[in-house]
Amino acid sequence: MHEICNMSILIVAATKLEVQPFLYLNPDAEYLITGVGAATTVFQLMNHIQNNKYDFILQVGLAGTYTNELILGESVIVEKDCFADLAVWENKKIISVYDLGLNNPNEAPFENGWLVNHHISVNLTQAKIVKGVTVNLLTDDLKYVNEMKLKFDAAIESMEGAALHYVCIQKKIPFLQIRGISNKVGERDKLKWNFKEAIQSSNQLLSEIYILLKTN
């Protein structure tokens, strides 16, 4: 048997629904419900870690996918993320703040406009490692969706992922972003979504990683 270590781990989710199965099995785990969106996630997470020290932060939540290579209900780990709609939508094109020359894409903590997690360990997970984008707007406008896909070549989108990356990279806290694929990006008919399996699989992956961190 592995000895339980004293690693301090924080579990982060936008809503309690997205982390409920894990909390049921791990009632003593420390967790933070931030609310939906990047702004509230940055604020709530920064506010929380000011008064609490953590060795690792694990975020879990739902995501839409841009690609047919991911199936509804499976889970992934996000290696790099960005604030994709910090941009201008003009002539049906996405023009980023970097394209406009307003921000330096390589000013820390960004690398070519991306927030990259360099500490993903193969010892922790065999889940698919993907690129994600974070957005404030969810839409069924397929032209916008296709432009987003073309611009960023990302596999998934969420509403909080880049916020986690931003805070943790800045504060030098190891982290992982875990996402369950609930829908195709642009599909707003909830009958075609798979909430149940996405939540179950992402929470199972979260539990596996949590146990590995606690026992290694």
Classify residue 61 as exposed, middle or buried by CB count within 10 Å of its CB (0-12, 13-18, 19+): buried
| Domain range summary for the chain, segments of one domain joined by + | 9-215
**Does domain 9-215 bear CATH number 3.40.50.1580?**
yes
pLDDT in tens, 151-210: 999 999 999 999 999 999 999 999 999 999 999 998 888 888 899 999 999 999 999 999
Q: What are phi and psi of 200, to 5 degrees?
A: -65, -45
pLDDT at 2: 45
Closest CA to 160 of 25, 15, 48: 15
**d(C-alpha 181, C-alpha 95), whole Å:** 27
pLDDT at 168: 97
Report DSSP state, residue 146.
H
CA 132 vs CA 6, 87, 92, 177, 190: distances in Å: 31, 16, 21, 10, 21
pLDDT in tens, 97-115: 999 999 999 999 999 999 9
